[in-house]
Amino acid sequence: MRPIPLGPNQPATFYRGSGRLAAFRGLDLEPRPEDWLASTTARFGLAPSGLSTLPDGTMLADAVAADPLAWLGAEHVERFGPNPGLLVKLLDAGQRLPVHVHPDRTFAASHLASGYGKTEAWIVLDAAPDAAVHLGFTRDVAADELARWVSTQDVTALLGTTNRVPIQAGDAILCPAGLPHAIGENVLLVELQEPTDFSVLLEWEGFPLGPRNASVGLSLDEALTCVDRRGVSPARLASLRGAGPSLLPAEAADFFVADRIGPGRLAAGFAVLVVTSGSGELAGEWGTLAIARGATVVVPFAAGACALSGDLAGIVCRPGTRAPQR
Are 180 and 71 in the same domain? yes
Measured in degrees and rounded to the nearest 5, phi and psi for residue 70 equal -70, -40
Same domain assignment for residues 246 and 263: no
Cβ atoms 94, 13 nearer than 8 A: no
> Are the CB atoms for 296 and 1 separated by under 8 Å?
no
Q: Distance between CA atoms of 196 and 200, rounded to whole angstroms?
A: 13
Question: Is the sign of the CA dihedral 124, 130, 133, 137 positive or negative?
Answer: positive
Task: Tell me the CATH number at 10.
Answer: 2.60.120.10
pLDDT in tens, the chain (326 residues): 999 999 999 999 999 999 999 999 999 998 999 999 999 999 999 999 999 999 999 999 999 999 999 999 999 999 999 999 999 999 999 999 999 999 999 999 999 999 999 999 999 999 999 999 999 999 999 999 999 999 999 999 999 999 999 999 999 999 999 999 999 999 999 999 999 999 999 999 999 999 988 999 999 999 999 999 999 999 999 999 987 667 999 999 999 999 999 999 999 999 999 999 999 999 999 999 999 999 999 999 999 999 999 999 999 999 999 999 98
Q: 69 Cβ partners below 8 Å, 6+ apart?
A: 77, 301
Pair (246, 274) in one structural domain: no
Residue 86's nearest CA partner among 56, 110, 64 is: 64
Question: Do 193 and 77 belong together in one domain?
Answer: yes
Domain carrying residue 290 = 256-319
User: Same domain, yes or no, for 302 and 196?
Assistant: no
Half-sphere exposure at residue 288, Cβ-oriented, CA atoms within 13 angstroms: 7
| pLDDT attached to residue 244 | 63
- Overall number of domains in the chain: 2
* Residue 17 included in any domain: yes
Tell me: do 214 and 87 sit in the same domain: yes
Q: Is residue 324 part of a domain?
A: no
Residue 201 is which amino acid? L
In whole angstroms, what is the distance from residue 136 CA to residue 146 CA? 13
